[in-house]
């Protein structure tokens, strides 16, 4: 049996204490039957910074049972919306208090700049929690007029029950908040599986869940390999809803497992291949700013990344020149360096995948006009690379788009 402990991680002028067990019933515990560990890697150095317990299918069962018991006894319809709102706001306060430490932990495990994690990811997460806290006491139904005066018809909204939540590695804190906030607001309980690549901030946030005063079992955190924990949650007969953010391929598997088990409700946010359309009437400097931000932000690891750019021929050369200047200004470095505007990609697998795309583009005739060469030394760094592409193929992926023009009929 793997033993639970904590580890001290060195960050900017401080040590961050990180729990490494499974968070079930408000306690960090070892696995009941597995010695498997998940090794958290710092993508800036390629070093293993710590190892955490990997949940087994039996651990998932225990976490689901804890969530079900909490739903029946101490959460769900057993607490008022006012109390749910108070606890969610308290959690937001604690995250805001610990924003710097959480941001540095995110930088260590994910690679993104701590400055960006603190000011954007965590800032948005706090805002999200407070927004849904405001809704917790405003969940109402309606009465319906019927022909028979002796009858009363009305509707009410009840929490669905236990929610399995599977989040990705590109925005670990942000995705955690966007999953838990609405579920908590309406009275659902949660079994959260963070990405095996970036489990550390979810575990640290679990400490704050307990400190905020949530009853045991309301939020349970079970780091696990996707084919174990994710599959178990999607197929679990006592999970009422599963929410997944990640790849389209895995999303299909989640939907299939949910349908084959108890026909549980499913929410999926999947991959994108988002375009920018730049017309000659556009403010080209502004369009170049947005296009650079769209593909470089978060090291391009974003489901809405603007990974295709269509430019009207008459302004193509001018736009490319502007875009190159914007991308050149990107400073890619260690996430703990306050000067970094972008960090390494999250893992060796992701690093190899990105370079595979760059090399494939070259072989298919694309011309690298910036970057396109690997950095020497340690770290999964991919310097910003632009490729001059006449036209991309149609795609089944969506999620976002940018249109740059001053002509109203283009919109």
Catalytic residue set: 269
Judge whether 58 and 224 are in contact, CB under 8 Å.
no
The number of angstroms, rounded, from the C-alpha of 56 to the middle of its chain's C-alpha atoms is 22
Judge whether 274 and 401 are in contact, CB under 8 Å.
yes
Judge whether 153 and 222 are in contact, CB under 8 Å.
no
């Amino acid at each position: 049996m793997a033993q639970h402990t904590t580890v001290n991680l060195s960050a900017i002028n401080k040590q961050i204490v990180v729990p490494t067990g499974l968070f079930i019933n408000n306690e960090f515990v070892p696995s009941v039957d597995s010695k498997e560990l998940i090794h958290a890697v710092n993508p800036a150095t390629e070093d293993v910074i710590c190892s955490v317990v990997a949940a087994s299918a039996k651990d998932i069962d225990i976490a689901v049972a804890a969530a079900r018991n909490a739903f029946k006894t101490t959460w769900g319809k057993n607490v008022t919306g006012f109390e749910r709102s108070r606890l969610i706001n308290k959690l937001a306060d604690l995250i805001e208090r610990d924003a710097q430490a959480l941001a540095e932990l995110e930088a260590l495990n994910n690679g993104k700049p701590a400055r960006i994690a603190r000011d954007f990811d965590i800032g948005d997460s706090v805002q999200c929690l407070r927004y849904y806290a405001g809704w917790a006491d405003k969940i109402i139904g309606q009465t319906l007029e019927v022909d028979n005066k002796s009858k009363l018809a009305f509707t009410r909204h009840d929490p669905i029950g236990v929610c399995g939540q599977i989040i990705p590695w590109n925005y670990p804190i942000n995705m955690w908040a966007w999953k838990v906030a609405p579920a908590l607001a309406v009275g659902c309980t949660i079994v959260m599986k963070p990405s095996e690549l970036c489990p550390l901030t979810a575990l640290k946030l679990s400490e704050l869940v307990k400190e905020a005063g949530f009853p045991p079992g309301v939020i349970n955190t079970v780091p696990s390999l996707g084919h174990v924990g994710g599959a178990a949650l999607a197929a679990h007969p006592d999970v009422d809803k599963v929410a997944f953010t990640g790849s389209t391929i895995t999303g299909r598997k989640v939907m299939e497992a949910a349908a084959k088990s108890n026909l549980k409700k499913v929410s999926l946010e999947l991959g994108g291949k988002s375009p920018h359309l730049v017309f000659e009437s556009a403010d080209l400097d502004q369009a170049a700013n947005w296009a650079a931000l769209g593909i470089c932000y978060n090291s391009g690891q974003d489901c809405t990344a603007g990974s295709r750019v269509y430019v009207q021929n008459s302004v193509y050369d001018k736009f490319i020149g502007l875009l190159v200047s914007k991308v050149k200004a990107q400073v890619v470095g260690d996430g703990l360096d306050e000067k970094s505007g972008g960090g390494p990609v999250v893992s060796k697998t992701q690093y190899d995948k990105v370079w595979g795309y760059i090399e494939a583009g070259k072989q298919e005739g694309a011309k690298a006009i910036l970057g396109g060469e690997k950095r020497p030394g340690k770290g999964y760094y991919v310097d910003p690379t632009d490729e001059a592409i006449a036209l991309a193929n149609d795609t089944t992926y969506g999620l976002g788009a940018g249109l740059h023009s001053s002509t109203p009929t283009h919109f």
